[in-house]
Structure 1
Amino acid sequence: MDYLGEAIALTIDTIILGTCIKQYIKSKKAMSMIQGAPILDIDKNLQEIVNTHPEKKLEYVSIRGTVKPIGNPIISSNNPKVSGVIQLLSIKEHVIQRSTAGFWSEHERLIQETHNIMPFVIESKGYNVEIVDPLAAEVLDMDVISDVFSPTVPSVMDHIWGFFAGVRQRGVQTTEKMLRKGSVITGIGELIASEDGLSLRLEPPKNGAPFYLTNMQVTSLVRKLDDTRRNYRLLCIAFGVVGIILGGLIARRYWRDRCKKLDEEKRKRQLEDTRRERRRRVRDDNLPEAHLCVVCRVNPREIILLPCGHVCLCEDCADGILELCPVCRATIDKKSAAYIA
């Protein structure tokens, strides 16, 4: 318990450092894989390139084209003129919540989230590649079609109830996002040809590599990942230094406490040895029986026990007897030095 605060701080720092290291490695690996992925044009030669590879697939490639739905597109719920292939509808509740310290802070709660997906392809020069499982993409860029915040007008009873409950409603936010029809996006993933070799599809890589559907160019995506990697590297350095400092402080405090404890024990042993030697020199070896300690029967009686008043113990034996007088069994409240003339 002596190091509880430092141990908690070091544990939190270690957890954050581990998370930052994990994200740093992930960003670095993703950037390396994207840089190594070939950039292929969607044209008549793409089909032949894929068919010539083993199992008719390319494990990690980058393609770019225009979003085209297979069938009727999804019509926006808030703007009938907008259509797309992926629609995200979310409803969030904004509240002001009182913490255990008594401070009020804003929070948001996700009430509902709905995805609507229409099969689609990426098209270029009259050729296309079907996109499989787009929601598995680590980056899925969609346009915000509508973002409406409806504030709540609380009544007097709502104010009273919110004060005692510790939660006050601010309002509800409704958001609609869509991957629009006709958007130009970059897809990075595993490119596979169908069994008959007549169609292609882009899907999440089976080797665990990241899957992207973004409106950025490959160079912009790499630059963004590089910025993320640098930020996580700085965080790793910062939290690593904090961890080293905390570990050093804990080790320093432990070493100081240990040295202090050892010094106290050494000083105590020296005092006890000095005391015993001093008493040995001044004691009379020819003491009468009535002046000997009732416990060891060797040393003279030197301690008076209070409140019973018995002088029956030497200083050595008095250290081990703490509760009851060995003569009358009375409770010992205090011990004092006694001198028998």
Structure 2
Amino acid sequence: MDFFSEIVGETVILGIDSLILGFCVKQLSKCKYILNALQTAPVLDIDESLNKEINKYSNYTIPYVVIRGLVKPLGAPITSNYNQSVTGVVQRLTIKEHVIARTLAGFWSDQTRTIHEVCNAAPFVLSNGKYSIEVVDALAADLLDMDVISDKFEPMSPGVIDHVWGFFSGVRQRGLQTMEEMLRDGSYITAIGELSRSNSGALKIQPPREDLPLYLTTSTKSSLLKRLAGSRDFLRVLLIVFGAVAAVASGRIAYKYLKRRKRRDLELTMKKQLATGRRERRAQARESGLADVQLCVVCTENPKEIILLPCGHVCLCEDCADNIKEQCPICREKIESKAPAFIT
């Protein structure tokens, strides 16, 4: 049996586990990087000391900073589609389809998929009295906390034909969910990103460089640190679990390889012992006192016993034929096969 066919199960498990393990390592490295950057990020107030603090950095840019302030629109805010009294600076409209689908195992389970999503944003600043910082590209934030303004679910009323079609197709419609979320003006949020000052003196916070995320959240810095630390610890547990699986799978492959190698070495030893026994029996059965023309042209001791094909020369004993595999020692023609020769 081919060795790969013996370890195909372990190989598949090891391959899948390696992919998951690599993903976990990448996510853990990213989580640690963000956690370290957030721990060292300064927490600044929006006041007159902000310009003094930014003067300490080259190009008047702080790579990662934590700032809290009130959301205020620059110009006209966005009005809610479902509550005219609510205004904000970021709006997300989502339509989701709820279905009951049959799984491969034959069970029915609830599933949800987004069929339409629209995001709108208006320019806004974080303010504290007469001081303010403009927020740039809020929709690029990795974490954007918004309030749910409206969440409506419209159930479907399927008929008999719909039930029959759903049974055969494996999908039954439950209804549509329409949801509106907004970042309200006047809400108090934490912005974590890159703070810079333009030539005109205007301050703005934007998505940072160096693969760091922009956060616009109602949580504090300590809450975010706890959340990231929890994600880091969870990824470490996953690394231990999938690392153990990889170690077990690798150990199984190594065990099967060593077992196969030991079995092969044992077979080779037995073949050598059998060959030695046959050689001894041949030596005892060979005639002595033969003429030179009947002796092997290589060792000149044993009788000629092997015919070389296709040239047809009978010139080797069986012992020497085991070592000569390329060319006939008489005519130098390539040896394609060998056969026993019985000379009487």
Give the structure-2-normalised TM-score: 0.76
Query: 1:271-310 maps to which residues of 2 (within 5 A)?
Result: 271=274, 273-274=276-277, 277-278=280-281
Query: 1:185-224 maps to which residues of 2 (within 5 A)?
Result: 185-197=189-201, 199-224=202-227
CA spacing shift, 1:268–1:167, aligned 2, 3 Å: farther
Q: 2:158 aligns with which of 154, 161, 166?
A: 154
CA spacing shift, 1:148–1:276, aligned 2, 3 Å: farther
Q: Which amino acid aligns with 1:10?
A: L
Correspondence 1:172 to 2:192: no
Q: Deviations over 1:229-253 (max 9, x none)?
A: 1111111111111111111111111
Q: Which amino acid aligns with 1:86?
A: V
Report the Cα offset of residue 273 of structure 1: 4.4
CA spacing shift, 1:238–1:42, aligned 2, 3 Å: same
Correspondence 1:68 to 2:78: no
Secondary structure of the equivalent of 2:43? coil
Query: 1:238-253 maps to which residues of 2 (within 5 A)?
Result: 238-253=241-256
Query: How far apart, in 1, do the equivalents of 2:153 and 2:79 lie?
Result: 22
CA spacing shift, 1:268–1:106, aligned 2, 3 Å: farther
Two-structure CA RMSD over aligned residues (Å)? 2.5
Q: Deviations over 1:257-316 (max 9, x none)?
A: 2222332343344345445655775x6869xxxxxxxxx9959xxxxxxxxxxxxxxxxx
Moved more, 268-277 or 147-156: 268-277
- Residue equivalent to 1:336: none
- Residue equivalent to 2:40: 36
How many residue pairs get aligned? The number is 289
- Residue equivalent to 1:259: 262
Query: How far apart, in 2, do the equivalents of 1:29 and 1:223 lie?
Result: 15
Q: Which amino acid aligns with 1:200?
A: L
Secondary structure of the equivalent of 2:42? coil
Q: 2:234 aligns with which of 220, 231, 235?
A: 231
Correspondence 1:96 to 2:100: yes
- Residue equivalent to 2:10: 6
Percent identity between matched residues is 48
Query: How far apart, in 1, do the equivalents of 2:175 and 2:31 lie?
Result: 37
Report the Cα offset of residue 217 of structure 1: 0.9
Secondary structure of the equivalent of 1:68? strand
CA spacing shift, 1:258–1:22, aligned 2, 3 Å: same
Secondary structure of the equivalent of 1:93? strand
Q: Which amino acid aligns with 1:59?
A: P
Secondary structure of the equivalent of 1:233? helix
Q: 2:61 aligns with which of 40, 57, 64?
A: 57
Report the Cα offset of residue 148 of structure 1: 2.5
Report the Cα offset of residue 171 of structure 1: 2.1
Query: How far apart, in 2, do the equivalents of 1:181 and 1:233 lie?
Result: 39
Query: How far apart, in 1, do the equivalents of 2:125 and 2:189 lie?
Result: 11
Query: How far apart, in 2, do the equivalents of 1:6 and 1:179 lie?
Result: 50
Q: Deviations over 1:81-117 (max 9, x none)?
A: 3221111111111223334444443332220111011
- Residue equivalent to 1:87: 91
Q: Which amino acid aligns with 1:57?
A: T
Correspondence 1:46 to 2:50: yes
Moved more, 97-106 or 213-222: 97-106
Give the structure-1-normalised TM-score: 0.77
Contact 1:51/1:193 (8 A) holds in 2: no
Report the Cα offset of residue 210 of structure 1: 1.9
Report the Cα offset of residue 222 of structure 1: 0.9
Query: How far apart, in 1, do the equivalents of 2:179 and 2:262 lie?
Result: 63
Query: How far apart, in 1, do the equivalents of 2:89 and 2:66 lie?
Result: 20
- Residue equivalent to 1:333: none
Q: Deviations over 1:39-58 (max 9, x none)?
A: 11101221343356432222
Secondary structure of the equivalent of 2:114? strand
Secondary structure of the equivalent of 2:44? coil
Secondary structure of the equivalent of 1:85? strand
Secondary structure of the equivalent of 2:251? helix
Report the Cα offset of residue 156 of structure 1: 2.1
Q: Deviations over 1:57-100 (max 9, x none)?
A: 22221110111111222122222232211111111112233344
- Residue equivalent to 1:289: none
